Chain A
Amino acid sequence: MTATISHTRLRVLFAFFAVASLLLSARLAYWQTAGRADLLSRATDQVHSDLVVAAQRGVIRDRNGAILATTVELRSLYAIPGLMTDRDGKDTRPAVAAALAPLLGERPEVLRAAFDSGAEWLFVRRRLPEDTAVRIAALHLAGLGFEMEPKRLYPNGAVGAQVLGFVNDDGVGQYGVEGRYAEELRGTPGRLVVARDPANRELALGLRTAVPARNGDDLSLTIDLAVQNAVERELAAVVDREKATGGAIVVLDPKDGAVLAIASSPTYDPARVGSADAEALRNRAISWTYEPGSTMKAITVAAALDKGVVTPSTSYQDVGYAVIGGRKLCNALCKVYGPTTVTQILARSQNAGAVFVASKLGAADLNAYLQAFGFGQRTGVDLSAETGGIVRPLAEWYPVDLGTISFGQGLSVTPLQLASAYAAIANGGTLYRPYVVASRRDADGEHRTAPVAVRRVISEETSRTLVTMLTITVDNGIANAAALKGYSVAGKTGTAQIPSDDGSYVDDAYISSFAGFVPAIDPRMVVVVVLEKPQSKLLGTVPAMNTFKAIATDALRYARVQPDRP
Chain B
Amino acid sequence: MEIVQVVALGLIAAVFTLFLKETKPELAVFLSITVGVIIFLSLLKHIARVLHILQEITVRANINILYLDILLKIIGIAYISEFGAQICRDAGEGATASKIEFAGKILILVLAVPLVVVVLETIMGLIP
Do A and B associate with each other? no
Interface set of A (CB-CB < 8 Å, partner B) = none
Interface set of B (CB-CB < 8 Å, partner A) = none
